[in-house]
Amino acid sequence: MKKVTLIIITGLLFGLVFLLLSGPNSSSPAEDQELKAEACTVIMVGKKASADGSTMTTHAADCGMCDWTWRYVPPADHKPGETRKIYRISQTRTWPPEQGLKWDLIKKDFTGVEIPEVPHTFGYMHGVFGYMNDQQLAIGESTIGNRPKMSNPTPTPAFNITMLTLLAMERCRTAREAIKLMGSLAEKYGYGGEDGGEMLAVADPNEVWVFEIMPVGPLWTPNSGKPGAVWCAQRVPDDHVSVCPNESRIGQIDLNNPDYFMASPNVISYAVENGFWDPKSGEPFSWKKAYCPAEGNAKDNPRRARMWRFFDLVAPSARFSPSLPNMEFPFSVKPDKPLSVKDVMNLTRDKGYSTFFDPTRGIRGGPYKNPNYDTTTRLISVKQVEYTTVTQCRDWLPSPIGGIVWLAWGPQDTACYMPFYAGIKALPASFSIGDHWVFNRQSARWAFDYVDFHTQVAYSVAIEEVKKAQEKWEDGAIQQIPEIDRQALEIYRKNPKKASEFLTAFYLNNAENVVNAWWKLGDDLLVKLNHLSYYNTERRTVDRRKMDTPEIWKKAVRIIDALLE
């Protein structure tokens, strides 16, 4: 009995020590379950808010179990009378590699709907979603949810969010064109299935828009005479930046100002009909409050901290409070300084260090201050990322040269952003294969997971090795871009086809070098950190002091040891 009591007391005291050293930071099981579905952060930068005049968007595919493969779809010409088949494409579903590639297998889930083909479709790159086409149309995605009554999990809607982005890539040159196309298709053929409320950052070289779309309930049919979706879009001011951390961002709307707002014809009437907004209440109509209210703030629920963290990083002079309800944050803000593409990459890697939700505070990061042990806080950068994109659209260059997708495989902190121009003609074969359940050295993504896995063992030491590689390959590519732009433009003026071949050769070579470098980095980390001793491969010495643990961790161990005596 005494032994049992001692164990209980020890457990309670250990918990107390943990709280004292780490600070309060928890959420209820219900909140955890609700917020596990929240998985993508999107950052948006207007052209006058960027350091070089480009518009930028990001997307972190934070699923942790989804298909990560990428594909290039070439441009094509189509004959009169041809049709485009519409497929149900799950964001999360994968197939065993022996059954084939996802983008071949989706053809088994034909909706039965075909729409008229257009004379010419643009070439584009896509993963889970379409990301950029050869016209510099760019997209990023974030799931935002909707009121339960609005969901339509039936097979009646023909479109989900992935299919809408692919159609936009194929047919549209500008953000406005893409929003109108996606909205009209969803209205006519229905939106829903596995997907609920979704947000897309839709950008071109001149503008960035927030497009949000939701289903209209399980009873909708194409014969109802009503729109099969409700949607709204708001433009980010050119000198502003914005974010979507899995929460609806559009508030009050002004449809009399089409330069900044667009919406479906039922944008307000659907809310009134379903009791989501009462025009007699005296309260102005708010899109997010009507269709997707998200309660909470960063201080009370660290899983809601991304909103505050972004605004605090880009506009610290505004002194946004972590106690400010997320629903009350502005749609966008003017940053304290223009953001470079490297700044945006760093934002995607943010772990909240030195803030109230620092995941390594106290002993939470373990002896090597690993930020990935903490599961109570939802950070901008998380451990389960499939890949992250940063898109740049640049109006001073022809579209094949002006558009760039920076792609990083796996978790941002241990990955490397690689540039892919809009005018490419192919993607590496290693980008189209691989999944979470089968290790494959022919898959580019596994090179980055290989590094990430070895980094977790002794994070504070290993991450310094990763940063050296990022500085060489990522920063090196950023520094190369102006010269590659110059050469490509010179070739383009004489022969656009040759320019595309030049750009394709550049990024294929760069991607191959980076993937090979990351395989080697993983091998090096295995050797250097073997037995939790730092093996200096250059000097052929062992430096155990480099692997020493911080005093706060040693103190915690001593306290626990004393309690167990």
Ordered by start, the domain boundaries in the chain are: 36-396
Q: What is the pLDDT of residues 307-323, one digit of tens each?
A: 999 999 999 999 999 99
User: What is the reported pLDDT for 24?
Assistant: 36
Distance between CA atoms of residues 383 and 373, nearest Å: 9
Token output for 115 = 């729409």
Considering only residues 452 and 30, tell me which one the structure prediction assigns the higher pLDDT. Answer: 452
Distance CA 140, CA 161 (A): 11
- Residue-level pLDDT at 565: 78
Instruction: Produce one character per residue of 260-269: b if its CB has 16 or more CB atoms within 10 Å, e if not.
Output: ebbbbebbbe
What pLDDT, in 10s, does the model give residues 157-209?
A: 999 999 999 999 999 999 999 999 999 999 999 999 999 999 999 999 999 99
The pLDDT value given to residue 34: 42
489 vs 31, higher pLDDT: 489
Task: For residue 385, give every residue at least 6 positions away whose Cβ sits within 8 Å of its Cβ, in sequence order, or none.
Answer: 60, 61, 62, 64, 410, 411, 412, 415
* pLDDT of 506 above 70: yes
Asked whether residue 28 carries a pLDDT value surpassing 50, the answer given is: no
Structure tokens at 147: 């009121």
Minimal CA–CA distance to 445: which of 469, 413, 409, 417? 409
CA distance 324 to 69: 39
Amino acid at 259: D
Strands (E), 220-260: 230-236, 241-244
CA distance linking residue 540 with residue 522, whole number of Å: 19
CA-to-CA distance for 534 and 149, rounded, in angstroms?
57
